[in-house]
Structure 1
């Protein structure tokens, strides 16, 4: 299963898995091989749940639960059952799904009562700990997450279906999920979207892939004059967040990325110091969660007007860190500039944790 393979990159072992919208348990073999302590499959359709239960009951720590998870418990809803073996079934109307897949329709329905994931787990699995949530709920992902506020606190990762635009009527987009999960410290770490506009995404909790125990004190030569100054970047990507260029000068070292450009030729990020400044040193903090090597070859450019830039430093593949106490330290010995730009030496993505600028004393 793709989610389990991706988790290995972050050294996350799925100790407890919840799969909401499990259908007939296609992932059963993968979950069994993961050796998770507990696996819960949630499926609302009665006939499919019966098949699912028969499949997983051979494993004593795998449980099939018939339930319809949503943002509130106790609501009466009509659940629509689709013609493709129930795979596109949803509590929402088909909407754009019918245009993309005209051969698929709703052929039956069942009256159900909703329950939040928090209530379901508290009732049936009060002693179990889960760290991976998998969502396959056909447009209702945000509804399920809104009913899983307590569950999210213990999770390390969420793997979910996503779409660029709502696939079902009143459904959500990947941006809606990113906005909701952000305050819970989940970061979008992997996303695939096909030509039809939908796919899958992995959100990983920040503490899961860069432990504060690995963070080390960094000696700083004075006052960071780039702190909270205006920053910009060459492009945004599917992994970007609002105002993210500013995040690289907010003074908070996390071990993850503060900004993330699109994949392009010579992507860049820059900060406007507000006035001509005599610069002694620039410190660049790399992300340490994944793909740190993408930033190993970069150039540093300076400008007095934001239009004409002069290259003053080049790094050619030498590794560097950041929150681990080993940021790149670039001595400029009093070079005068207002704009400081970091640019990849070639093509790719540019993503960094923090950039700090220090003046001569």
Structure 2
């Protein structure tokens, strides 16, 4: 039963009055999808390349960890001698992520209940609501202003949001000494995260995987060429994953959302 299958949607609707039970079952369902690779096979095949690109002892950063699909696979890949830092600012999602790491005993993962950007402090996140009133936690975004919010709602076919406040930090302020891989999936604000990690990227030259989706980056007045210029200035190559290999490409390649940038 897939994450967005009709049976699962029906179950979610029935569980609306029982939030704790819903969270528990959500955790179990996500744990199953993660363990069986069901979600990765259908939606995130890049995970299988990552397993071959990283090695035991590496350090990885998962920004926008959500429920832990990448966190889990990164943890297993870098092993007990490696480390994974997983950032997730949304409380509901973070609780589920925490349960996932306990279920799988991911002892090499450090969970951080914060977001990442090019500034520090408290900031508002908007979390879209589904028709049944439950949240779409995976679509949470930094709420810059009313224009930004309304644009997101229209493009995501949502009618309302709840707003939460969470802390954001800059990756550069953490002074990492070793980083082999960074994954960033933050619903359009990816360039802001990169700007806050510029020193880390320059000094440590990690592989970077980025989600680039026009409908989301547009709401921050970011264009694909802005992201392209960022990596071009760092002498990084743009690639996408297909059939077991990385293929060099232009960032304006359509129908590709996940790009892998290599030094």
- TM-score of the two chains, using structure 1 as the length reference: 0.48
Deviations 1:262-291 (A, max 9, x none): xxxxxxxxxxxxxxxxxxxxxxxxxxxxxx
* Larger relative contact order (CA 8 Å, sep ≥ 6): 2
Q: Which runs of 5+ in 1 are unaligned?
A: 206-361
* Cross-structure match for 1:298: none
Give 1 or 2: higher strand fraction: 1
Note if 1:169 corresponds to 2:219: yes
Residue 61 (structure 1) aligns with: 108
Whether the aligned pair in 2 keeps the contact of 1:100 and 1:196 (CA below 8 Å) is no
Q: 1:124-149 deviations in whole A, cap 9, x for unaligned?
A: xx5x6211110110110110000001
Q: Which residue of 2 aligns with 1:88?
A: 139
1:7-53: CA deviation from partner (whole Å, max 9, x where unpaired): 578x5548221111111212344223313511111000122212212
Q: TM-score, normalised by structure 2?
A: 0.64
Query: Which stretches in structure 2 are left out of the alignment for 5+ residues?
Result: 1-43, 130-134, 243-250
**Larger Rg, first or second structure (1 or 2):** 1
| 8 Å Cα contact 1:129/1:154 also seen in 2 | yes
Quick one: structure 1 residues 105 and 18, their matched pair in 2 at CA, closer, same or farther if it must change by over 3 Å? farther
Kept after mapping to 2: 8 A contact 1:162/1:173: no
Q: Is residue 46 of structure 1 aligned with residue 91 of structure 2?
A: yes
Separation in structure 2 between the aligned mates of residue 21 and residue 184 of structure 1, nearest angstrom: 23
Cα 1:168–1:178 change in 2 (3 A) is closer
Which has a greater percent of helix? 2
C-alpha separation between the residues in 2 aligned to 1:113 and 1:29? 24
Asked if 2 retains the 8 angstrom alpha-carbon contact of 1:165 and 1:197, the reply is no
Pair 1:29–1:7, CA change in 2 (3 A): closer
For residue 151 of structure 1, report the CA deviation from its aligned partner.
Answer: 1.7
Aligned to 2:245: none
Kindly state the Cα deviation for residue 4 of structure 1 after the two structures are TM-superposed: 3.8
Instruction: State the aligned residue count.
Output: 197
